[in-house]
Amino acid sequence: MTLGEVARVVDGRQVMVGSETPINGFSIDSRSLAPGDLFVAIRGDRYDGHEFVSEAFARGACGALVSHESALGMPTGVGIVVHDTLSAFQLLARYIRRISDARVVAITGSIGKTTTKELTAGLLEARYRVCRSRGNLNNAIGLPLSLLELRTRPEVAVVELGMNRSGEISRLVEISEPDVRVWTNVAEVHSEFFSSIESIADAKSEILEGASVDTTVVVNAEDRRIMTRLTDFPGQIETFGFGSEASVAAAEVEDRGLEGTRALIRTPVGSTMVSTPLLGRSNLSNVLAAMTVAVKFEVPLEAAAERVSKLQAAPHRGQVHHLQRGIVLVDDSYNSNPLAVEAALVPLRRDLRRGRRVAVLGQMLELGKRSTALHRRVGFAAAEAGLGLLITVGEAPARAVGTAAVEAGLAADRVLHCDNSEGAANRLVGMLEDGDMVLVKGSRGVRVELVVERLLAECS
């Protein structure tokens, strides 16, 4: 693209711009900007990009998209002035999405979005040139960044749509205009901002908006809250799950603990055995969602199954590390919610190793008024998992996990509480036994990844 083309798309006013000046890329962070990039100055919760325009020019920006001309500086300032840089950025992303030849697959859900995105992109790569959103770039800023990569002319783009308030997914759908929408599940995540789990489901259902008869939605057949919201969907509905009524279904499921799962997957075009190193049935459900998309895109079943067997967990999302002394560490420290913790405990319980089960569970944030009740629910699940040691991390809600676990039968001397992750790491290192299986999981704000880092440093 050129600066002139961008100015036309966003209806901006050019300042000292040669219309044919080429743009190599786009950046919202002056620290990672490459020479020839257009710097987009976005106001965030903590930083205002307009304060870094001069730094962007120093690093070789070809221009800047700003909301006031004074941010460009003089006499070197070159740029485009608009009323709202974020809206302009989103408008630009939608423009590139529309002129590209790519089909867009958009994924949402309460848990498993990023894993499902990585699986889906990996399977589609068996047949297509695929572009995927990096990490969890799934919000009003991250999604446009991902869509701008469509300038590289992939055949398919796989993106993630996140939210913590009503209306956010609706806006992301407007920007991305997805051809295929994937809705994995509904759970009590970000419930601080919602009155009930039904209102969470309503917000997630915005993934269905703007669909036509040519749109496909891929949904979890076993999630009642999803299925009841499909009544007026005008396009094609494809389902996945563990029941025979699903379009793509898993049967003969073999839970292999910390070695993953194996299952026969039945599809409209045939059946295939699939093995995945990803842990638990929740991840097998993510595999089913990705396989459903792959079938829609006519990826051969054998190629899809082979790729599933090789796809590993993303960093801090269920990674399994084999450490010294026979210790196995499950690093699921990226984030947490009640359903995800319960799912993560199941492979620990079902693994056939003889070692002790250990869980470090950090506080789950953004749960609102139901926080204590939801933490107690996790405590009951921890007791059911047969833990030999439970360490909780955080404030009063985290303590409720341990209290509930003891009430459910876990011995009180097997339960410890630490106010922070540094303390939890110190306690755990001194208590490790040969052959321990250790799960580390918590919300990002609790920083339980510090426990993971300490174990890797001490035991690798």
Could you tell me the pLDDT band of residue 362, with boundaries at 50, 70 and 90? Answer: very high
Pick the CATH number of 3-88 from 3.30.460.10, 1.10.1060.10, 3.40.1390.10, 1.10.10.10: 3.40.1390.10
Q: CA 12 to CA 7: how far, in whole Å? A: 5
Compute φ and ψ for 459, nearest 5 degrees. Answer: -120, 0
Digit-coded pLDDT (tens) for 11-20:
988 887 766 8
Alpha-carbon distances, residue 139 vs 17, 85, 176, 191 (angstroms) = 30, 15, 11, 18
Q: How many residues would you count in the chain?
A: 460
Distance from C-alpha of 232 to C-alpha of 303, rounded to nearest angstrom: 35
Phi, psi of 320, rounded to the nearest 5 degrees? -105, 125
The domain locations on the chain are 3-88, 100-310, 319-459
Q: What pLDDT, in 10s, does the model give residues 15-51? A: 877 668 888 899 999 999 999 999 999 988 788 889 9
pLDDT category at 201 given cuts 50, 70, 90 is very high
DSSP letters for 267-305: ETTEEEEEEE-S-HHHHHHHHHHHHHHHHHTT--HHHHH
In angstroms, how far is the first alpha carbon of the chain from the final one? Answer: 48
Sheet with strand 261-267: strands edge to edge:
130-132, 156-160, 103-108, 180-183, 216-220, 236-241, 248-255, 261-267, 270-276
Neighbours of 123 (CB within 10 A): 27
Q: Does domain 319-459 have CATH number 2.60.40.2700?
A: no
Mean of all residue pLDDT scores within the chain? 92
Three-state secondary-structure class, residue 249: strand
The helix (H) or strand (E) run that includes residue 116 is: helix 113-124
Residue 433 has pLDDT above 70, yes or no: yes
CA 285 to the chain's CA centroid: 15
CA distance 204 to 229: 10
Contact 381, 391 (CB under 8 A): no
State the pLDDT at residue 76.
62
* 268 pLDDT tier (thresholds 50, 70, 90): very high
Please give the order of strands across the beta sheet that includes 319-322: 319-322, 328-332, 437-441, 357-362, 389-393, 415-418
pLDDT of residue 243: 82
Q: Is 100 in contact with 177 (CB distance < 8 Å)?
A: no
* Pairing status of strand 328-332 against strand 319-322: antiparallel
Q: Which fold has domain 100-310?
A: UDP-N-acetylmuramoyl-L-alanine:D-glutamate ligase (3.40.1190)
pLDDT at 75: 61
pLDDT at 165 over 90: no
CA distance 204 to 192: 15
pLDDT digits (tens, 9 = 90+) for 386-431: 999 999 999 999 999 999 999 999 999 999 999 999 999 999 999 9
Whole-structure pTM over 0.95, yes or no? no
CA dist., res. 133 & res. 230, Å (int): 26
Q: How far is CA 288 from CA 79, 104, 125, 236, 275, in A?
A: 46, 19, 17, 17, 12
CA distance 135 to 152: 18
